[in-house]
Every structure is written in C-alpha cells, then in structure tokens.
Amino acid sequence: MKRVFAVTLGILTAIGGFVDIGDLVANSETGARFGMRLAVVVVIGVIGICVYAEMCGRVAAISGRPVFDLVRERLGPKAALANLTGSYLVTLLTLAAEIGGVALAIQLASSVSYLLWVPVAAFAIWVALWRVKFETLERVFGLVGLALVVFVIALIQLQPDWAALAGDATQLSPPDGEDWGTYGFYAVSLFAAAMTPYEVFFFSSGGVEEGWTAKDLLTSRMNVFVGFPLGGVLSLAIMGCAAVVYQPLGVQVDTLAQTALPVGIALGKIGLVVVILGFFAATFGAALETGLSSGYTVAQYFGWQWGKRVAPRQATRFHTVVIISVLLGVALLLTTIDPIQLTEYSLVFSAVVLPLTYLPILVVANDRAYLDDKVNGPLANTLGIIYLVIIVVVAVAAIPLMILTGVGQ
Amino acid sequence: MTDQPDPLRIDFHLLDRQIVDAAGEPVGKVDDVELTLNPATGRLQVTALLSGQQVLGERIGGRLGGLLAGIARRLHPVEHPPPLRIDLTHVASIGSAVTLTVHRDALPTPPLERWLGDQFIGKIPGAGHAGQ
Amino acid sequence: MVTTVGVVVVWAAVVVWSVLPPTPEAYLAEAVSAAQDAVSATGTVLLVGRADLDDQLLPPYTDTALEDAQQAAATAAQDLLAAPVPDADSLVVRLDLVPLLVAASDGITAVATASSEGDRDAVEAALAALVPVRGELDQFVQDNQ
Amino acid sequence: MRASDLIGRPARRPDGTVFGRIADVLADREPDGTWTVYAVLVSNSQRLRLFGYERPEITGPWIIARLASALQGPLDEIPIADIGLPNVI
C-alpha cells in the first residue's frame, strides 16, 4: 500500500513538474498561431524526454553517477568544458525565465509590476534552496502544479469542435498566412520545451541524491512513462485552449495573462485563481530545479560535493554557484528584458546544446562496465538512435530558423 | 584493492572519474594520474591520483587550461600549492567511480571550499544544517 | 585564427546588413508586423473586456491584461512611426496604417480607463468602438500577407 | 611524470621518431598490489578521448560503435618498452 502511494505520489509530482514557463509560453503561442497543427511535435518531444529520462534514471540508479559527471567522463575535459559553458548558460537563461514567470504570476494576482516581484521571488527561491529538503520541494510544487489540470477542464468547458481540432492535428503544414520558417521555428521551441536539458540534470541528480538502486527502477520508470505523458496532456490542453480562443480572432499570444485568459473565459473567477496558482507553482518549482541544476552542472564537472542532502557548509562551492546563478538571473531580468522573450531564447539555445549531453548518456547506457545487465535493450537503442538524429537535426536547425524568422515574428 | 578492471586503462578507467570517499561522498575528479619510474626495476608504475583545478588546467593546456589553472592559483592562499595527491594504496575500488579506503575528513579540504566556508557560505544563517 | 576571421566576417556582415537603407518590402513587412501586434492587442482586449463584463475575471488580472495590451499597441504604433520610409508606396502604407494603430491604442486605453473606474457602460461603449478598428487592422494584415 | 604527459601526446619510438598518438595507457596489477604500465594504445587519429568502444563491455548502439571505430581508426597495442618516454620527472 505504501509502495502504491509512493508511486502515485511520484507520478503526480512528475505531471505537475513537467510544465514550466517554456511549456506555458511555447504551447499557448503555437496554439494561437497554428491551432493544433504542431501538436504532433509535443507528442514527439514527450516520447523523447521519456526515452532520455529513462536512460538517465537507469544510469543514475545502477552506476550512481549523475549526468554531468558522465558527460566529462565520456567527452574528456576540454569538450566537456565547452559543453559545461553552453549547458550552464542555457540553464541560467532558463532560471531567469522561470524567476520572471514567478514574478509575472504574482503580478496577475496583484497587478503590481513583475519587476518589483523579481527580487522577492528570487529571494524566496534561494531560501527554499538553502533550507528546505529536496523531497519536500519536489512534492509541494509538483502537487500544486497539478492545478494546471484546469486547462484540461477549461478546454472541455469551451466545447470545441473536437473533430476539427483532431483534423487540425493531422495537418502537418503551416496554416494560411504562416510560412514553413515560422512553423519550423515553433516546432523547435515546442520540442525544446518538452526536452529541456535541465530536466535530466535535475532528474538524474535527484535520483543519485535519493540513493536510487536497481530496486527503484520501477518507480523511476513509472514516473517517467506515466507522469511525463500526462504532463504532455497538460501541454496539449494549453495549446488547445489557445487554439480555440485565439486562432479564430487572429490573436497572437505573447503574455502570460493571455495564456491564462481561456481558463477565465471558460471557468470564471475560480478557474482564474486556480490557473494563476498553477503558474506560480509550475514556475517556482522549475526555478528551484534550474537553480539546483546550475550548481549540479558545475559541481559535477569539477567533482565537488553537491546536493541538498548535506548542509550548505559541506558543499560551499555548490551553494556559491547556486547563489551566483540566482543573482545573475535577477540581474538579467532587471535589464527589463521581457521574460516571455527570454523564455523563447532559452528554448532555442536549449535545443542547440541538447545533443552534447544526450550522446554521452546514450553511450554510457550501453556500457556494461557501468550498467551490467541493465544496459539498453534493442527498443531503447532503436528509440535512442532515432532521437539522437532528431535532436541533432533540431539543434542544427534552431539558430538558422531563429535568425530567418526573427524569433518567430 | 578488491575490485579492479583488468587491464587498467588509465584514460578510460581513471581520468575524469569521480573520486568518492569510503562513505561515498564526492572528493574530486581524477584530474590527472601520477606515473613513477621505479629506479630499482626501471618500470613505469601508476602511483597516485591527482585532483584539483590547477592540475586540470595544466592537463587541458593552452590558453583555456592556463586560465583555469590561473584562477585556481589565484583562489589559493599558498604561492605554489601542491595538488591533492591520493596515493593509489588508498584506493579501494575502481568502478563507475573511484572509491577510497579513507574518509574525506582525512584529506585536506580543497582551498576554495574552505575559503568559501569561512568567508561566505559559513556566515549565512543555517549553513550548518541540511534541509528540513 | 580561422575562428577569429570568421567572427569578424560575420560581425561585419551583421553591421553592414543593419545599416543598409530599408527596402519597400522590409517596410511593408514591418507594417504588417505592427498591424498584427495591434490585431492581437485589440482582440485580447475584446475578450478580456467581455469576460470582465460577465464578471468572470479578477480585478488585478484584468488590470494586468489590459496594461499588457495597452503597451503592445502603443509599441506597435511607435515602432512604425519611427521606421524610415523608403519610397512613395511605403508612405501610402504608413498614412493608411498609422491612424489605425493610434485608434487601436486609444481604444484600448479607453477600455482600460473605463474598466479601472468600474464604469460598465463606458467599458461596453469602448469595446464596441474597438470592434471596427480591429476589423480594419485584420483586413490590412490579410491583404498584405 | 603524469598520465597527461603520455595520453594525447605523439607516440615516439625510443629513437624519437613519431609514429602516431597515444590514446590510452594500460597497466597490470603486480602481486604486491602495485600497478605497472605494460603497454600503450596508439592510434593515427587526432581524436583524444575514446568513447570506450575499444573495450568488450560495450558494443552498441551498433551505428555509434561503427562511427566511433571509423573515427578512431585502428588501435595498436605497443609494449611500453618500445616507447620513448618523455623527458619529465
């Protein structure tokens, strides 16, 4: 019974923790502009993160090594240092975007400018990282993040023409008035929103920190294979809501208030309260994950003590990196750069750096010296190679598409 | 040493692996490996693991490595700090990590870790407690 | 060495590209982009305003959403006003579009003001006035895409 | 001497002629517990870090294994006695 409870809790946490500022922005933007025509990319991205996270979870459980530790081992110090620079900067960009998302969510509830909330939110995030237990953080924000299920209810309440939405989803081409360039650009953003590098840094480091062993493989796999796809359903609901409300009016989405509006229209005040709470939890939780991940990448590259299981006094270099990262994130936001635009950039660069962390994991997941008999089977390897190709194509296309379309304008 | 690869591939099995102490806590990365020519036999022996940013910087070499080693030197209170040297006799096993027979408290604390503990992190309230 | 040369070449290309005089095509693209932003802002305001009249939203949310839209519409108008006009056809585009952008911005401001004063009739009137403006902007986007 | 004085450096014969690049250094355990270097792996490619595909413990995914060995080229195991050691202490 206790085991069932733990598994259920893990799944719920994975669902709530799946959506972050990147998913909120990318899904509502694409829903408004392309209807459900890019829904298939969300599905591809979710399967991708399942393949990747399952490998990382297995490697973490059997070998006890988190992702960035292995990145240096497989790539050597020089290539891994270049990778570290890229991955750290992208994680930092994402951290800033998430802090901005927290501040924007509070603005929706208070009408006080988000810029004033940025330092407050950042301080709260740091205190949580400093004082609160890892498991508590993950559970609380994952579960409250489940509030975003309200998008599914809202979509049903909006009574869309389901057949039309489904038909739209099978059209793999841009609608009238949009070109292939922007279609491709948003496909990259959606893919990157589902397969963000920090998710696996966090997932694998969490596994190591919680001391996973082969016995925990089942739990880990349930979280991944049930939790992430259900999280993907939330993403699709966000996309669907935007498609139903905005696409007929030709309205493009570029604020968090717009992302929330369909829920208000469908469910009124209570729905709006729930969705704003969901935004807050999802971005706050993701800010914690990215904040920790910034420390994980650096500490694991250099072999420092890291994590929240020990007192900060025992991992001073790790905590210093985390503090500096939060401060840099705040500084970036206080330049008054639009957090939504920041999110768009963070997604593009996430796509660019992803292959460098994916490939070493795919290789290690085949190495019996690390995994013994738990190495990839034929299915994991077939999917692993298919996704390696997709990830490389997306990474190569990301920056040209960004420049070509002027960040999707 | 009880558990060891055969043969020992220094690049594959040692370099860039995580070193953990007897309790499994991270100590550092294997940033380089010390080889010694035994004067008696004339053979080359693997004698110690070397760890620290300065060693890493020297190994990477070039401008980038110089920068890394330079930063490590600057953050160090001693002029020419010796690297953290772990004799191979203190290694318990070589697997997905290199496990030592000793506890990390028996090893010198890395200077940056200690400095940050004294000057920065240690001064923030709650630094001595793990999460609640 | 090769990297350095590459960086310099790319940088020079970006600089040259950014100081080139605007072409009529680029001007039209900018005009369409501004019109699209105004369509988005007015459309959002119509949705927010009606939901607010139905008492479905919360005041802080409504304020924020309207403020965002106000800012987006004002930026769209300003950007087009500031853009250099390359030829006579572009001037026609500008003369057509700028009044619409200003009307959109003014209309949104009217909704926001009425909403913050809690004047339902004024909100209704301002929303009604915004509908044709949105229609014309939408038409401009459709015609020039 | 450090491992990095060998790995990634040109492989030389005792007379100093270069014939490749050292990719890895192999050591064997003596009965007294010490490790003695007995050979080096020499490759002709510039790539430094092997992905580990030179070992029997890893064979897949097939396509990456093929790519890695193609990039790597053939590896020769040369006894340490046939290698000119760098002149460092």
Q: Do residues B11 and D25 lie in contact, with contact meaning Cβ atoms separated by under 8 Å?
A: yes
In the predicted model, what is the mean pLDDT of chain A? 92
> C44 touching A, CB under 8 A?
yes
Q: Distances in Å between the alpha carbon of A405 and those of A229, A398, C94?
A: 30, 11, 23
> At CB < 8 Å, which residues of chain A contact D?
74-76, 78-79, 359, 362-363, 366-369, 375-376, 381, 384-385, 388
CA A399 from centre of chain = 20
Q: Do residues A253 and C39 lie in contact, with contact meaning Cβ atoms separated by under 8 Å?
A: no
- Residue A132 has its nearest CB partner, among B25, B117, B132, at B132
Give contacts of D62 with chain A, Cβ < 8 Å.
381
Predicted pLDDT of residue A74: 87
pLDDT over threshold 90, residue A319: yes
CA nearest A18: which of A383, A283, A395, A322? A283
Q: How confident is the model at residue C128 (pLDDT cuts 50, 70, 90)?
A: very high
Contact D55 B11 (CB under 8 A): no
Read off the pLDDT of residues A134-157 as tens digits, 9 standing for 90 and up. Answer: 778 888 888 898 999 999 999 999
Read off the pLDDT of residues A355-378 as tens digits, 9 standing for 90 and up. Answer: 989 999 999 999 998 898 899 999
pLDDT over threshold 80, residue A51: yes
Parallel, antiparallel, or unpaired: how do β-strands B98-100 and B18-20 relate?
parallel
Determine whether domain C23-144 maps to CATH 1.10.3470.
no
Q: Which distant-in-sequence residues (6+ apart) come within 8 Å of A51 by Cβ?
A: A380, A383, A384, A387
CA nearest A339: which of A283, A267, A393, A262? A283
Predicted pLDDT of residue C64: 96
CA A192 from centre of chain = 8
The dihedral region occupied by A217, where left means phi > 0, alpha psi between -120 and 50, and beta the remainder, is: alpha
Give contacts of B34 with chain D, Cβ < 8 Å.
1-3
Predicted pLDDT of residue B79: 61
Predicted pLDDT of residue B46: 94
Read off the pLDDT of residues D43-85 as tens digits, 9 standing for 90 and up. Answer: 887 665 657 787 888 887 888 888 888 877 788 899 998 888 8
Q: How confident is the model at residue B2 (pLDDT cuts 50, 70, 90)?
A: very low
Q: Do residues A329 and A295 lie in contact, with contact meaning Cβ atoms separated by under 8 Å?
A: no
Chain A interface, best mutation among D7, D51, D59, D69, by max A CB count within 10 A: D51
A 66-125 → C contacts, CB under 8 A: 107-111
pLDDT over threshold 60, residue D89: no
Q: Do residues A294 and A99 lie in contact, with contact meaning Cβ atoms separated by under 8 Å?
A: no
Parallel, antiparallel, or unpaired: how do β-strands B26-29 and B32-37 relate?
unpaired
Predicted pLDDT of residue B3: 65
Chain A interface, best mutation among C30, C39, C47, C127, by max A CB count within 10 A: C47
The four Cα atoms A214, A219, A224, A230 give a dihedral, to 10 degrees, of 170
Read off the pLDDT of residues C22-71 as tens digits, 9 standing for 90 and up. Answer: 788 889 999 999 999 999 999 999 999 999 999 999 999 999 999 999 99
Report the range of poorest mean pLDDT among A64-73, A221-230, B111-120.
B111-120
Q: What is the DSSP letter of A146?
A: G
Give contacts of B44 with chain D, Cβ < 8 Å.
1, 36-37, 80, 85
Mean pLDDT calculated for residue range B83-110: 90
The boundaries of the domain holding residue A364 are 2-405
Contact A313 B17 (CB under 8 A): no
Contact A381 D52 (CB under 8 A): no
> B22 touching D, CB under 8 A?
no
Which comes out higher in pLDDT, residue A269 or A210? A269
Q: Do residues A108 and A267 lie in contact, with contact meaning Cβ atoms separated by under 8 Å?
A: no
Three-class SS of residue A398?
A: helix
Domain CATH for A182 = 1.20.1740.10
> A409 touching C, CB under 8 A?
yes
> A254 touching C, CB under 8 A?
yes
Residue type, A230: L
> B95 touching D, CB under 8 A?
no
Report the range of poorest mean pLDDT among A372-376, B10-14, B65-69, C47-51.
B65-69
* Nearest-neighbour CA in chain A from B123: distance (Å): 9
> A251 touching C, CB under 8 A?
yes
- Dihedral pair phi/psi, residue A175, rounded to 5°: -70, 175
What whole-number distance in Å separates Cα of residue A275 and Cα of residue A267?
10
What whole-number distance in Å separates Cα of residue C47 and Cα of residue A263?
12
* Nearest-neighbour CA in chain A from D56: distance (Å): 9
- Residue B26 has its nearest CB partner, among A73, A303, A316, at A303
Q: Which structural domains are found in chain B, ordered by start?
A: 12-123 (2.30.30.240)
- Dihedral pair phi/psi, residue D28, rounded to 5°: -120, 150
Question: How many other CB atoms are there within 10 angstroms of residue D81's CB atom?
Answer: 11
Mean pLDDT calculated for residue range A109-123: 96
Predicted pLDDT of residue D50: 59
pLDDT over threshold 50, residue A107: yes
* Nearest-neighbour CA in chain A from D63: distance (Å): 8
Q: Do residues A22 and A196 lie in contact, with contact meaning Cβ atoms separated by under 8 Å?
A: yes
Q: Distances in Å between the alpha carbon of A190 and those of A39, A247, B125, D2?
A: 9, 18, 41, 47
Q: How confident is the model at residue A101 (pLDDT cuts 50, 70, 90)?
A: very high
Contact B28 A304 (CB under 8 A): yes
Read off the pLDDT of residues A126-135 as tens digits, 9 standing for 90 and up. Answer: 999 998 887 7
Give contacts of C61 with chain A, Cβ < 8 Å.
108-109, 111, 257, 260, 264, 272, 276
- Dihedral pair phi/psi, residue A120, rounded to 5°: -65, -50
Contact A366 D59 (CB under 8 A): yes
Predicted pLDDT of residue D67: 85
What whole-number distance in Å separates Cα of residue A283 and Cα of residue A21?
6
What whole-number distance in Å separates Cα of residue C106 and Cα of residue A132?
49
Q: How many distinct structural domains can be found in chain A?
A: 1
Predicted pLDDT of residue B109: 84
What are the structural domain ranges in chain C? 23-144
Chain D interface, best mutation among A366, A373, A375, by max D CB count within 10 A: A366
Please calculate the CA angle A150-A154-A159 and round it to the nearest 5 degrees.
Answer: 155
- Chain C residue with the nearest C-alpha to that of A107: C64
- Residue B10 has its nearest CB partner, among D25, D34, D85, at D25
* Nearest-neighbour CA in chain A from B32: distance (Å): 11
Q: How confident is the model at residue B71 (pLDDT cuts 50, 70, 90)?
A: confident
Contact A366 D58 (CB under 8 A): yes
Q: Do residues C107 and C23 lie in contact, with contact meaning Cβ atoms separated by under 8 Å?
A: no
What whole-number distance in Å separates Cα of residue C73 and Cα of residue C84?
19
Query: Per the structure block, which two tokens stand in for A283?
Result: 């971005």
Predicted pLDDT of residue B1: 42
Give contacts of B130 with chain A, Cβ < 8 Å.
133, 308-311
What value of ipTM does the predicted structure carry? 0.89
Residue indicated by tokens 């087009």:
C80
Share of chain A above pLDDT 90, in %: 75
Three-class SS of residue B115?
A: helix
Report the range of poorest mean pLDDT among A30-44, A162-176, A210-224, B86-100.
A210-224
> B11 touching D, CB under 8 A?
yes
- pTM over 0.90, yes/no: yes
Predicted pLDDT of residue C43: 97
Three-class SS of residue C47?
A: helix
Contact B24 A64 (CB under 8 A): yes
Report the range of poorest mean pLDDT among A69-83, A166-180, A229-243, D42-56.
D42-56
Mean pLDDT calculated for residue range C69-75: 96
Chain A interface, best mutation among D47, D58, D63, D69, by max A CB count within 10 A: D58
Strands (E), D1-89: 10-12, 18-29, 35-43, 76-79
Contact A78 B29 (CB under 8 A): no
- Chain B residue with the nearest C-alpha to that of D57: B5
What whole-number distance in Å separates Cα of residue B122 and Cα of residue B116?
7
Three-class SS of residue C62?
A: helix
